[in-house]
Amino acid sequence: MNLTVQEFIEEYKTQFQTMFAYSYEEGTTEQHYTALGIFIKNYLSRHWKETRESYIKEGAKQVYYFSMEFLPGRQLRNNAYNLGILDIIKEGLTELDLSFDSIAEAEADPALGNGGLGRLASCFMDSLASLSIPGNGNGIRYQYGLFRQKFVDGYQVEVPENWLRNRNVWETRNNKSTCLVRFGGNVWLEPNDKGYYEAKYENTLNVLAVPYDTPMVGYRNNKVNNLRLWSAEIPVEEEANYHTLDEIQPISEITQVLYPDDSNYEGQLLRLKQEYFMVSAGVQSIIRHFRKYNVPRKNIPDKIAIHINDTHPALAIPELMRILMDEEHLTWDQAWEITQKTCSYTNHTILREALEKWPIDMMKELLPRIYMIIEEINRRFVDYHLPLYGERITWQTAILQNGVVNMAHLAVIGSHSVNGVAKLHTDILMSDVLKDFFEIYPERFNNKTNGITQRRWVHLANPELTALIDEKIGEEWKRNPAELKVFKGFEQDEETLKQVAEIKLNNKKRLADYIEEVKGIQVNPRALFDVQIKRLHAYKRQHLNALHILHRYLEIKRNPDKEVVPRVFIFGAKAAPSYVYAKQIIKVINSIADLVNNDPDIGDKLKVVFFENYGVSLAEKIIPAADIGEQISLASMEASGTSNMKLMANGALTMATLDGANIEIKDFVGEDNIFIFGLTDKEVYELKANQSYQSKELYETNEQLRRVLDALKDGTIPGLNGEGSAIFDSLVHYNDEYFVLKDFESYVDAQNRADALYAKPMEWTRKSLLNIASSAPFSADYTIKRYADDIWKVKQYFTGDEGVQPLDE
């Protein structure tokens, strides 16, 4: 199917007229977006159908990636690119006097995730399809995504993100594949005359799960996989029982918003409902699909891999048990063997508060049959392990503990594989967080360092850089990322370095224009662009960054004639609505921005820009323009990070603690080409263990630090209402949980090293080039290949030499 420009033009005009009943010349940008999206969806639909059919025909094992979050980003450009028709479309639209770029901007960016975990899921979808691996996503079609963030007087305000307002052109509502999900009521087991127990239910809340399927387009390989997002509705046959909106609410709320406020009982219950809803619908539809393979049920693990992305979908384990026993009538032992072989689990965090635990009473009431199964899994686990491992290990690894269901324990016990997401993180899981499990099941543990798709984050986000790499080393790196290392050969080539520097400057100019447009702040594109973009969290330490900015500000004020390397500090971050401290940090940074940006003594030497509503589309604009990527979490706290990889791949130098995947980045790029500072994970553990850290002492003895900290509360920063004092108190009086003050000095030193290097542009650009050329190991194509080979045991289904073939790492 080779589309020509002329064919596109004719078909597009017809498409537009069919949809809107007037000529394309009269269309709005939104209408063009809709028409173009539908055009592309029609174009790919044959591949979508054929991919699905070919997997069944070949009896292919399929992966189902269960995730409560996906952050796919806009899909128009990405789909056209992967299909190989982007340039044709662009050319055709230009001939029609339309701008592809403006049309693409009209797409809503689905914020169905919080951050790294959801974006990882979407990078994985892209790599699965591009590697010709049968891999599907399973998640929730939240009617409103994560909130839209606005700043009012520097404070974060959350408003609903109505991303479906203008219709989602990519999804297909699939009425054929709906499932029924039951909540609450009473359940009991009754022996029947066929020789097994039957589960009987009464007074349940029945919810219809309706799948919306979205194509996940592979890179130039004619493969289109499926992302299935579920929506909750009233079962058709029960419609007559529902009369008012209030009566419908318990159903419609299930898929209304992502992460409802879980600080109260009602909110938590809703979240648990969401988890089971997604899991039950997903597992039911997988088992139904499995029947098409016509093989015995014992072969389920040869045909299906269910991946549990963090603990949120861990109820897939008891749900699969339920279906295999109650509906497929297998015995407990048969069902358990299949379940364990089918399921695998990724841990994403060591933060205690993020390790899910559900009150037993809540689980029992909402999911009575599932709770019965969990109780039995736990009973058998304890019975088996008590004599072998003794009291301490057994009780510490049990699923039911002190009135709660420990979801991480359920996930580990019910899976054949448990992985962390960077080497250090996996080590910490094995030596600390899941250490007792590591003793029981050492063979289950493995590391799979996260990755990113270069297609979205380099090829599309940074077309000039991509064209330069193509020109220098050919295009093979796009299908085989390891080739990118050939680019290292140009580190001494002056002409190439000039080109890399010019591309960065162009990207910075574009971002500078955008900053002026949306924030009204003028920034100098030749200043060093220093970027920290990620969720706002105390462990990620945006406040350390803020202290450094304050330090710079005070230095310039004290020494106005001293030459400084001008910097633009750029932030993007949402805080959880109920996370007060994170919101205080946002307010403080916004107020520092007001102070700095409006001080005539400061001019271009220092600017601070905090973008509203950080998300994938904003990331695509910021990342290609970054000179420094801030990865400054307290060592041991960040599982992997992925913005670090995206920034590096676009030539930013990393300012980093030895945390998460920063360590691997340092190893690949070399320690001369990264700025490392701060405590190591071991030092952090030691300081915590011997309780010797006294942050107040640092405040009292370090004059530089004291000046900066005092500025938080002495009126230097205008517009604060106690937020600066709150941060001051946490750092000085409440002993600084995340060792911000302890790392401050070495952070400032590292930042000074960065200034000195930036003053030597060629040297800086050489390191930037080395970062670009060393980024291939962080391609999600490799990560997915490892999951496929080691955990899922799924194959790539090539029909020729098309697609991505990351063979020689």
Active site residues per annotation: 348, 534-535, 540, 642, 646
Q: What is the 3-class SS of 414-455, one letter each residue?
A: CCCEEEECCHHHHHHHHHHHCHHHHHHCHHHEEECCCCECHH
Q: Which stretch binds ligand PLP (CB under 6 A): 307-315, 595-603, 639-647, 662-670?
A: 639-647
Q: In the structure encoding, which two tokens stand for residue 557, read together?
A: 């004020």
For ligand PLP, the binding residue among 434, 616, 656, 726 (CB under 6 A) is: 616
Exposure letters 782-805 (e unless 16+ CB within 10 A, then b): bbbbbbbeebbebebbeeeebbbb
Q: In what order do the strands lie in the sheet with 567-572?
A: 606-611, 567-572, 528-533, 628-631, 653-656, 675-676
Output 636 or 642, the one with its CB closest to ligand PLP.
642
CB of 551 to ligand PLP, least distance (A): 23
Output 71 or 705, the one with its CB closest to ligand PLP.
71
Phi-psi group of 203: left, alpha or beta (phi > 0 → left; psi -120 to 50 → alpha; rest → beta) = left
Output 283 or 772, the one with its CB closest to ligand PLP.
772
Output 553 or 778, the one with its CB closest to ligand PLP.
778
Burial class (CB in 10 A: 0-12, 13-18, 19+), 220: middle
Output 367 or 616, the one with its CB closest to ligand PLP.
616
CB of 344 to ligand PLP, least distance (A): 22
H or E element at residue 356: none
Q: Which residue has the tokens 């914020």?
A: 111
Instruction: For residue 91, give the amino acid letter.
Output: E
CB of 662 to ligand PLP, least distance (A): 10
Q: Does 537 bind ligand PLP (CB under 6 A)?
A: no
561: Cα within 13 Å, side-chain hemisphere: 0
Per CB under 6 A, which of residues 51..90 are in contact with ligand PLP? 71
Output 285 or 453, the one with its CB closest to ligand PLP.
453
Q: Does 641 bind ligand PLP (CB under 6 A)?
A: yes
Q: Does 709 bind ligand PLP (CB under 6 A)?
A: no
Per CB under 6 A, which of residues 93..122 are in contact with ligand PLP? 115-116, 119
Q: Which residue has the tokens 């050919």?
A: 474
Q: What are the backbone dihedrals phi and psi of residue 459, each rounded to the nearest 5 degrees, phi first?
A: -55, -45
The residue nearest ligand PLP at its CB is: 643
Q: Does 573 bind ligand PLP (CB under 6 A)?
A: no
CB of 705 to ligand PLP, least distance (A): 26
Per CB under 6 A, which of residues 117..146 are in contact with ligand PLP? 119
Binding characters for ligand PLP, 586-615, by CB under 6 A (x = yes): -----------------------------x
What is the DSSP track for 111-124?
Answer: -BS-SHHHHHHHHH
Output 394 or 454, the one with its CB closest to ligand PLP.
454
Q: Does 643 bind ligand PLP (CB under 6 A)?
A: yes
Q: Does 346 bind ligand PLP (CB under 6 A)?
A: no
Binding characters for ligand PLP, 646-665, by CB under 6 A (x = yes): x-------------------
Q: Does 619 bind ligand PLP (CB under 6 A)?
A: yes
- Kindly give the pairing relationship between strand 135-140 and strand 224-233: parallel
Q: How far apart are CA 199 and CA 327, in angstroms?
A: 9
Instruction: For residue 317, give the amino acid letter.
Output: I
Binding characters for ligand PLP, 721-760, by CB under 6 A (x = yes): ----------------------------------------
Q: Which residue has the tokens 């339920």?
A: 322
CB of 115 to ligand PLP, least distance (A): 3
For 38, residues 6+ apart whose C-beta sits below 8 A from its C-beta are 15, 19, 169
Name 64's bridge partners: 136, 306
* Interface contacts to ligand PLP, rule CB under 6 A: 71, 115-116, 119, 534, 615-616, 619, 641-643, 646
